[in-house]
Amino acid sequence: MQGPIEADALGVTLVHEHVRFRDEAVASQWPGRYDEQLELDAALVAVGAAKDRGVRTIVDPTAMFGGRDVRFMKRVADQSGVRIVACTGIYSYDYLPHYFANRDVDVMADHFVEDIEIGVQGTEIRAAFLKCAADAAGVTENVEKIHRAVARASVQTGAPIMAHSMPAVATGPRQVEIFEEEGVDLAKVQIAHCGDSDDVDYIEALIEKGVYVGLDRYGLEMYLPIEKRNAVAAELLRRGHAERLMISQDFCATIDWFPPEAAEIFEGQGAIRNWSMTLVFDEVVPALREMGVMDDAAFQTIFVENPARWLTA
């Protein structure tokens, strides 16, 4: 948001947070159902709290279908003083609009390249990385098409990739395989949400392919509780994988997937716990320090060097 990235200027980075997440179709058809001031205030509270913990950069992988809006992101960046890094790509578990269904992979890739080389949504703000997703449905035909388009845009521009994954159905290995088939440099690939699994060997097998893995949904207890996430992180650190780990929360300052009262209900049910942009600093890092697996050097590796290396490799 504040111009091209200098790797050593990123500082402490949260690699996976959303300043706003909403359905862009609903939001554009019924804008009166959304309160932009309220959304902005919530984003500034969340980002401000992270800034108080030393965060200087937030990587926001909100893509198409997540309501990506770089003008909104820039307002948050300008008013908070925290750099926000935007992406291009498509966040779909299967659905593709006719527009992309009836055009080939290379045309799709061209759209992503335009965002990376020229600018997003008519601005001069350029996307710094590519986003795609595979979830419960697995790597469907449409999901594969998006992955291949993302891969080709990465090969063409050098931009890194973040792929949402679902360890419960083991999407990660196939996602990596597609990137490999397309000739992507796997050192530019981050497989998000690996931390939803407590299968350390599954995660380690991905790391051995040379990709980064996201332990990036701290606070989303419905997928895996914090203590189990910490046990996985600790074991990966013991096995010497600090340079491949990304720790974050996938927090959404606002999200329209549920009615407003849902957050309190989820918290009450234990489905989420202290989900925020500061949880990893308030609870996770202290716990990992206590366990003797995170010292200052490991903190620097995970929160400063890894995001910078991934974004600028």
Q: Which residues bind Zn ion (CB under 5 A)?
A: 250
Q: Which residues contact 33 (CB under 8 A, 6 or more apart)?
A: 26, 27
How far apart are the C-alpha atoms of 275 and 106, rounded to whole Å? 38
Give 132 or 139: the residue with its C-beta nearer to Zn ion: 132
Give 182 or 250: the residue with its C-beta nearer to Zn ion: 250
Give 165 or 306: the residue with its C-beta nearer to Zn ion: 165
CB 46 within 8 A of CB 19: yes
Residue 195's closest CA among 156, 237, 139?
237
Give 105 or 216: the residue with its C-beta nearer to Zn ion: 216
Give 135 or 250: the residue with its C-beta nearer to Zn ion: 250
Q: What is the DSSP letter of 18?
A: B
Least Å distance, CB 15 to Zn ion, is 10
**DSSP per residue, 35-77:** -HHHHHHHHHHHHHHHHHTTEEEEE----BTTT--HHHHHHHH
Q: Which residues contact 126 (CB under 8 A, 6 or more apart)?
A: 4, 86, 115, 116, 117, 118, 119, 120
Least Å distance, CB 63 to Zn ion, is 9
Least Å distance, CB 277 to Zn ion, is 12
Least Å distance, CB 221 to Zn ion, is 16
The closest residue (CB) to Zn ion is 250
**Residue 167 in tokens:** 């360890």
- Amino acid present at 207: I
Least Å distance, CB 18 to Zn ion, is 6
The phi and psi torsions of 131 (rounded to 5 degrees) equal: -125, 140
Least Å distance, CB 303 to Zn ion, is 18
Give 196 or 250: the residue with its C-beta nearer to Zn ion: 250
**Residue 289 in tokens:** 């320090």
Three-state secondary-structure class, residue 224: coil
Least Å distance, CB 292 to Zn ion, is 30
Three-state secondary-structure class, residue 84: strand
Give 234 or 251: the residue with its C-beta nearer to Zn ion: 251
